[in-house]
Structure 1
Amino acid sequence: MPPARKRARTYDSAKVRAAVHAQFGNVREAVRTLTPEQLALPTRLGGWTVRELVAHTGTALGAVSRFVDLPEPAGKDVTLLDWPFATAVDADTIADVGRRLAEQNPDLDAHLGDIERRFTEDLARHPGTRLLATGIGPLPLADYLVTRTVELVVHSDDLNAAVPGLDIPYDRQALAAATRLLADALAVKAPGASTEVRIPPFAVVQCVEGPRHTRGTPPNVVETDPLTWIRLATGRVRWAAALADAKVSASGERADLGGLLPLMA
């Protein structure tokens, strides 16, 4: 796990809470429209079906409820910027959980509704400073909710890719938080100031060791849109493919990020 050598940016807790609710609501609305045939479609996540991916997406909020049920840990020894590098887990185990949840909950809308109600109740009972014993270590609830925007945006995109014609919208605040967290993670993984990565309208970070840029146009610039950046950072799209499809522009000898991506396994 790369050390978090950079101080995490501040997020508006109220906006993040609203964004998580909004993006989860967008998923629920889309799930209500899916036919049995669409739910049986494969996804780009190995052997997962759409039904299994929907069931898994519910765990983005379900994890919050699970953690608030645990005793509050004594101290905080990790930061929000540690999270992207600590997400490599047993894919087979996660897939098994997704399949089991899909089998146990044939009414997916009711399943997601139960998760959402519990999540809403938990947020009403706990302040953002409440520490959670997450899988990577103690994190404040407010920080952990930022990670939920990544999970929900990424899996909304996975579902859109799996079902022709499905168009789950992306809440602007959720997309912004997810983009910024993953951009900052890049700056942690490759500290420096020789390359400027632009993801308008949400984030600009400097990274990669080398001569520091001080004025004018930086000699090494990478620019892309938020969804392409999130796909690159999570391995949904490879750097070479994004360049070939003109989804990302890169200029300068230190603008090749292919060896740094993806950030999350």
Structure 2
Amino acid sequence: MADRQLRQTKRAAAVLAAQLPTLLEPAATAGRQSLAHLIAIAEAITSALAVPTRTAPQSISQLLLAWGECKSQRSATICQVAHGCNERQLRERAASAIAAAQQALTTDPLPPAVTSFVGPVRLSDLIAGLTVSLGKLAQHFGARLDPASTQQALRALAVTLEERYPGHTIELRVPPVTAVQLGAFGEGPTHHRGTPPNVVETDPDTFWALCTGSLSWQQARDEHRLRVSGVHADQVSRMLPVIKH
């Protein structure tokens, strides 16, 4: 099991290491704040990998929740990075930060858990969470993550829902990326074998928009971007958005 987890972490790290440099030019085009945000993400990777830990890690659900709660702190960090530097200097710092992060992510062996700025976390969860952050940043300046990073971010969001709402009442499907089973606030049947009677299916773009709060459940329903069956399936709307930052 440990070897399997390590292989999965190495694959996730390689995906993130490949994605980072592709966002440098779009961020530079978008301006100082976008560059500073990209720097903050890259430097967070390097800093965390420098501090491995044996402390019991928090879950990815707890990690994303903690990030949302320290939004003002993260904004202050980004402003501090941008302050006093022109765009050329910021671009150079971003390139350097990305190179350092890539080196850290491809170091062997990788630690199973690290100390992030919100506490101890499994490295695989930190990578997944930062991939979500990169997706949000890319969306801000009109770019998209590559397919491997997109899948990584969407799976992280689905796992977060699964952790926050455990159960077997609703099956949430995002083909071809992932599928998870969720509870229904104690109101629905608990299904033990096969497919639950309540199913929600949507496409990756809609799932991303719902999880990040850029699309409401009702709007997605009105635009026929959801396929919903079962009396409890609409309770997924109460679980969204996943992140509020």
The aligned residue for residue 202 of structure 2 is: 224
Tell whether the 8 Å contact from 2:13 to 2:106 is kept in structure 1 after alignment: no
Q: Aligned equivalents of 1:13 and 1:73: distance in 2?
A: 16
Change (3 A) 1:228 1:102: farther
The aligned residue for residue 170 of structure 1 is: 145
Tell whether the 8 Å contact from 1:23 to 1:153 is kept in structure 2 after alignment: no
Change (3 A) 1:158 1:251: farther
What secondary structure, in the 3-state scheme, does the structure 1 residue paired with 2:58 have? coil
What secondary structure, in the 3-state scheme, does the structure 2 residue paired with 1:197 have? strand
Change (3 A) 1:54 1:244: farther
Change (3 A) 1:15 1:130: closer
Aligned letter for 2:225? K
Q: Aligned equivalents of 2:123 and 2:100: distance in 1?
A: 15
Q: Aligned equivalents of 2:145 and 2:193: distance in 1?
A: 35
The aligned residue for residue 139 of structure 1 is: 121
Q: Aligned equivalents of 2:86 and 2:123: distance in 1?
A: 27
Q: Aligned equivalents of 2:172 and 2:56: distance in 1?
A: 30
Q: Which has the higher helix share?
A: 2
Tell whether the 8 Å contact from 1:199 to 1:229 is kept in structure 2 after alignment: yes
Change (3 A) 1:90 1:124: closer
The aligned residue for residue 100 of structure 1 is: 80
TM-score by length of 1: 0.76
Q: Aligned equivalents of 2:173 and 2:106: distance in 1?
A: 36
Tell whether the 8 Å contact from 2:47 to 2:116 is kept in structure 1 after alignment: no
Matched, 1:207 2:182: yes
Q: Aligned equivalents of 2:97 and 2:82: distance in 1?
A: 14
Give the CA deviation at 1:116.
0.9
Q: Aligned equivalents of 1:16 and 1:225: distance in 2?
A: 22
Range that drifts further, 124-133 or 177-186: 124-133
Q: Aligned equivalents of 2:165 and 2:91: distance in 1?
A: 41
Tell whether the 8 Å contact from 1:222 to 1:251 is kept in structure 2 after alignment: yes
Matched, 1:119 2:98: no
Q: Aligned equivalents of 1:110 and 1:156: distance in 2?
A: 19
What secondary structure, in the 3-state scheme, does the structure 1 residue paired with 2:96 have? helix
Q: Aligned equivalents of 1:143 and 1:206: distance in 2?
A: 20
TM-score by length of 2: 0.82
Tell whether the 8 Å contact from 1:149 to 1:177 is kept in structure 2 after alignment: yes
Q: Which 5+ residue runs of structure 1 have no aligned equivalent?
A: 1-8, 40-49, 161-167
* 1:179-218 pair list within 5 angstroms: 179-209=154-184, 210-213=188-191, 218=196
Tell whether the 8 Å contact from 2:40 to 2:77 is kept in structure 1 after alignment: no
The aligned residue for residue 85 of structure 1 is: 65
Give the CA deviation at 1:218.
4.4
Give the CA deviation at 1:59.
1.7
Q: Which 5+ residue runs of structure 2 have no aligned equivalent?
A: none
What secondary structure, in the 3-state scheme, does the structure 2 residue paired with 1:87 have? helix
* 1:252-263 pair list within 5 angstroms: 252-256=230-234, 257-263=236-242
Matched, 1:109 2:91: yes
Pairs aligned (count): 234
Q: Aligned equivalents of 1:15 and 1:96: distance in 2?
A: 32
Tell whether the 8 Å contact from 1:84 to 1:182 is kept in structure 2 after alignment: no
Tell whether the 8 Å contact from 1:200 to 1:226 is kept in structure 2 after alignment: yes
What secondary structure, in the 3-state scheme, does the structure 2 residue paired with 1:258 have? helix
Give the CA deviation at 1:240.
2.0
Aligned letter for 2:178? A
Select 1:18's aligned residue among 14, 24, 37: 14
Q: Aligned equivalents of 2:61 and 2:104: distance in 1?
A: 24
CA-based RMSD of the aligned residues comes to 2.6
Tell whether the 8 Å contact from 1:26 to 1:169 is kept in structure 2 after alignment: no
Give the CA deviation at 1:186.
1.0
Tell whether the 8 Å contact from 2:53 to 2:115 is kept in structure 1 after alignment: yes
Matched, 1:64 2:60: no
Aligned letter for 1:230? W
Q: Aligned equivalents of 1:126 and 1:59: distance in 2?
A: 24
Q: Aligned equivalents of 2:101 and 2:43: distance in 1?
A: 7
